[in-house]
């Protein structure tokens, strides 16, 4: 009778343990509420609110104004003057400074002056082209910042999904281990299992509780980082919508993304624009030694004056400025500008090499994560099967609680790796998209 009761309890509780520990607790859906946040919505909010991007756009607009500043040298300059004078000493005349020698007269006069550059042999045009290239470089920098903002949002978004997946696994493991502990307590009370088995199960429950606490903390930290990436001051509380990795296929090789990166990378485009800016500025500095021709005109009225003046005046003139010698200033400026332009050219080549390296590295990392998807799934299946066999051995009295606990730990670890593998791949796929310039 006692043997029959023992066999009945062992069979019943052993089957219950196996069913409980092998059952897969489905992860709660992360897009089950109407307030769920999608990745596109997160990126849209970031592009609207992120101060870093807004500052880059303002700098781009400010750089565009420098084109107008340089172009102003090609347009006429006009001014209006009003002058009044009363001569104290009628014998006084100006004789020093830049003014020509002339008599001073009592007068009140007003008039306008006009100055127009005729030619400086293309120097101002080269300065305008240099500023235009500088503006293009700043616009590319703003585009690069936009891509960086999108990358940071995606990484933070996928990080939240990954940490929540780990939390779901930890919670499921805690639930299963608590149930196992309760069942072992029943077996121990009926003298079917030893106190050692119960103690081992209690240790696993404590470990599972600690894992849940750590996972909850990681989720909270990841949501704070997502809020920062989106330009929000408060942590994101909305549920996040899962992303299917099949919607982000990996290119078959690392060579195809190379061409995309060389054409689309915003920082490489900015470097090329800065190289053009330096070359145009060097051209402008080279033309410093050429003459500058201007025409000038002045006209006005003198409603009050003494007998030495007429009631109005008008004049026109030209001025040809021919540089002769200035201590080597212009030649030094030209040499400096040419050397800087050559340095910018080498910087562009170096950046091109770095972009190629970044693309290859990003592709290999993404490919590793992609291949890990199948491996992690196989690992989960193998760990579940090992746990099932360990449970059967334990129920049959052939295995120890240590062997069973190790199988439980391996199964939980495999579940966690599988849960985070998808989000790891998505994060690395986002890094590849950034490296190739697709996040512009």
Summarised one tens digit per residue, pLDDT across range 399-438 is 777 787 788 888 888 888 887 888 899 999 999 999 999 9
Q: pLDDT grade, residue 215 (50/70/90)?
A: very high
- Return contacts of 34-41, CB within 8 angstroms, 24+ apart: 35/238, 35/239, 36/238, 36/239, 36/240, 36/241, 37/236, 37/238, 37/239, 37/240, 37/241, 38/240, 38/241, 39/153, 39/154, 39/157, 39/241, 39/243
For 27, residues 6+ apart whose C-beta sits below 8 A from its C-beta are 165, 168, 169, 172, 419
Q: pLDDT grade, residue 92 (50/70/90)?
A: low
Distance CA 275, CA 341 (A): 6
Range of the domain at 15: 2-84+105-435
For 40, residues 6+ apart whose C-beta sits below 8 A from its C-beta are none
What pLDDT, on the 0 to 100 scale, is given for residue 94? 58
Residue 419 lies in a domain: yes
Residue 257 lies in a domain: yes
Residue 90 lies in a domain: no
Residue 34 lies in a domain: yes
Residue 97 lies in a domain: no
Residue 214 lies in a domain: yes
Q: pLDDT grade, residue 96 (50/70/90)?
A: low
Q: Give the single-character DSSP code of 28.
A: P
Residue 394 lies in a domain: yes
Q: For residue 359, what is the domain's CATH number? A: 1.20.1600.10
Helix (H) or strand (E) holding 48: helix 39-49
Tell me how many domains the chain contains. 1
Residue 98 lies in a domain: no
**Using one digit for the tens of pLDDT, what is the confidence trace for 141-154?**
999 999 999 999 99
The 3-state DSSP class for residue 290 equals coil
Residue 411, both tokens: 């199964």
Residue 410: count other Cβ atoms within 10 Å of its Cβ: 17
**Using one digit for the tens of pLDDT, what is the confidence trace for 242-281?**
888 776 678 887 778 888 899 999 999 999 999 999 999 9
What pLDDT, on the 0 to 100 scale, is given for residue 265? 94
């Amino acid at each position: 009778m006692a043997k029959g009761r023992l066999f009945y309890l062992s069979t019943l509780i052993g089957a219950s343990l196996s069913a409980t520990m092998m059952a897969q607790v489905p992860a709660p859906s992360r897009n089950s509420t109407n307030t769920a946040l999608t990745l596109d919505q997160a990126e849209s909010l970031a592009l609207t609110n992120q101060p870093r991007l807004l500052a880059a756009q303002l700098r781009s607009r400010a750089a565009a104004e420098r084109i107008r500043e340089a172009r102003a040298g090609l347009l006429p300059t006009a001014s209006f003057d009003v002058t009044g004078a009363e001569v104290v000493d009628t014998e006084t005349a100006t004789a020093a400074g830049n003014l020509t020698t002339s008599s001073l007269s009592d007068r009140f006069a007003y008039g306008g002056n006009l100055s127009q550059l005729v030619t400086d042999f293309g120097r101002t045009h080269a300065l305008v082209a240099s500023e235009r290239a500088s503006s293009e470089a700043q616009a590319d920098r703003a585009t690069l910042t936009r891509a960086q903002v999108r990358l940071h949002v995606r990484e933070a978004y996928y990080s939240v999904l990954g940490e929540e997946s780990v939390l779901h696994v930890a919670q499921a493991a805690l639930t299963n281990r608590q149930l196992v502990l309760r069942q072992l307590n029943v077996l121990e009370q009926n003298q079917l299992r030893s106190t050692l088995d119960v103690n081992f199960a209690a240790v696993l429950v404590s470990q599972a509780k600690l894992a849940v606490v750590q996972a909850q903390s990681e989720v909270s930290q990841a949501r704070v980082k997502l809020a920062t990436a989106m330009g929000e001051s408060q942590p994101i509380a909305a549920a996040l919508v899962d992303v299917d990795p099949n919607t982000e296929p990996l290119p078959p090789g690392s060579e195809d993304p190379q061409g995309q990166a060389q054409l689309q990378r915003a920082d490489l485009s900015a470097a090329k624009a800065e190289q053009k800016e330096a070359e145009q500025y060097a051209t402008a500095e080279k033309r410093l030694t050429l003459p500058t021709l201007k025409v000038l005109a002045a006209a006005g009225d003198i409603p009050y004056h003494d007998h030495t003046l007429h009631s109005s005046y008008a004049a026109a003139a030209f001025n040809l400025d021919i540089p002769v010698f200035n201590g080597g200033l212009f030649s030094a400026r030209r040499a400096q500008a040419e050397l800087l332009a050559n340095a910018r050219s080498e910087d562009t080549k170096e950046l091109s090499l770095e972009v190629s390296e970044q693309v290859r590295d990003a592709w290999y990392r993404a490919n590793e994560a992609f291949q890990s998807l199948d491996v992690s799934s196989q690992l989960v299946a193998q760990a579940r099967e090992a746990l099932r066999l360990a449970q059967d051995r334990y129920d049959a009295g052939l295995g120890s609680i240590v062997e069973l606990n190790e199988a439980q730990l391996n199964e939980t670890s495999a579940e966690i790796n599988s849960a985070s593998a998808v989000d790891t791949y998505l994060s690395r796929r986002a890094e590849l998209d950034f490296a190739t310039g697709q996040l512009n």
